[in-house]
């Protein structure tokens, strides 16, 4: 593979899990801001709440959920964030979903939730694995939305899929991007499922300190491809 398109000061962590064997690998244990990948976590929390209440999502909840995931709509996320109980509601849901290193953003700043790539794999397992607190209908709904994000937001872990970003059946994802006003640098994240080399993988890449969105995307895509390649080869992913 080509070398990592690294930049001075940029940080990156990647985790990958093979769905068939359960084998996992992780590079980096640091915590990063989620930016918009937290929207998957918010919807998972909402679906858990609906399950507990033995009800379907309302029409308004579905409208908000769909634009939140497919278009990364922030206003819809604001509404659903408070509906699930904000930071405390997310924390409670994450205890059931298996996330142990994720701290919700304070004061309604959901994009500043802190997480690790390994914790994002735990979230993805709740969406894709059979032993999940989410029922099969909730899992299917989340996957359907992650499979249909709008054009322009289909970069990231999709680069590792068989056929890359052009293979629309080969990946389901949610991305996050956040320019930091105090530094001018970018947080770039991507999580989801891909089919690569004929196998199903969960992949999570979180990063920050990029000089531009394009530079961050290039690094995230490299990391996703490298993680799957090295896991398939039996080695842990290594960034130099």
> How does pLDDT run along the chain (240 residues), one tens digit per residue?
455 666 788 999 999 999 999 899 999 999 999 999 999 999 999 999 999 999 999 999 999 999 999 999 999 999 999 999 999 999 999 999 999 999 999 999 999 999 999 999 999 999 999 999 999 999 999 999 999 999 999 999 999 998 766 666 799 999 999 999 999 999 999 999 999 988 999 999 999 999 999 999 999 999 999 999 988 887 544 443
The predicted structure's pLDDT at residue 198: 87
**CA 35/CA 38 separation, integer angstroms:** 6
Q: Are 42 and 81 in contact (CB under 8 A)?
A: yes
Q: Which CATH number fits domain 11-232: 3.20.20.190, 2.30.250.10, 3.20.20.60, 3.40.710.10?
A: 3.40.710.10
CA dihedral of residues 115, 120, 121, 127 (deg, nearest 10): 150
- Cβ atoms within 10 Å, residue 131: 6
pTM score, whole prediction = 0.94
Record the tokens describing residue 138, joined without a space: 């909730």
The residue behind tokens 């029922």 is 135
Record the tokens describing residue 216, joined without a space: 């961050």
Of 69, 33, 39, give the one whose Cα is nearest residue 181: 33
Q: Are 33 and 11 in contact (CB under 8 A)?
A: no
Pairing outcome for strands 11-18 and 199-210: antiparallel
Q: Are 173 and 181 in contact (CB under 8 A)?
A: no
The predicted structure's pLDDT at residue 234: 72
**CA 51/CA 46 separation, integer angstroms:** 9
Q: How far is CA 226 from CA 80, 205, 210, 215, in A?
A: 35, 11, 19, 17
- Cβ atoms within 10 Å, residue 27: 19
């Amino acid at each position: 593979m080509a070398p990592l398109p690294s930049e001075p000061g940029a940080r990156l962590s990647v985790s990958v899990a093979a769905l068939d064997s359960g084998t996992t690998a992780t590079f980096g244990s640091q915590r990063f801001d989620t930016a918009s990948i937290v929207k998957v976590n918010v919807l998972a929390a909402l679906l858990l709440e609906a399950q507990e209440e033995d009800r379907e999502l309302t029409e308004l909840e579905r409208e908000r959920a769909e634009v939140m995931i497919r278009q990364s709509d922030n206003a819809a996320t604001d509404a659903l964030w408070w509906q699930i109980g904000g930071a405390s509601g997310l924390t409670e849901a994450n205890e059931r979903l298996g996330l142990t290193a994720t701290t919700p953003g304070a004061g309604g700043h959901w994009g500043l939730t802190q997480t690790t790539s390994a914790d994002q794999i735990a979230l993805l397992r709740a969406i894709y694995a059979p032993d999940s607190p989410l029922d099969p209908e909730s899992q299917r709904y989340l996957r359907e939305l992650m499979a249909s994000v709008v054009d322009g937001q289909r970069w990231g872990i999709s680069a590792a899929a068989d056929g890359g970003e052009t293979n629309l059946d080969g990946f389901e994802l949610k991305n996050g991007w956040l320019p930091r006003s105090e530094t001018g640098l970018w947080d770039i994240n991507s999580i989801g499922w891909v089919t690569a080399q004929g196998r199903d993988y969960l992949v999570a890449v979180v990063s920050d300190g990029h000089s531009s969105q394009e530079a961050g995307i290039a690094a995230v895509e490299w990391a996703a491809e490298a993680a799957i390649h090295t896991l398939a080869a039996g080695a842990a992913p290594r960034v130099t």
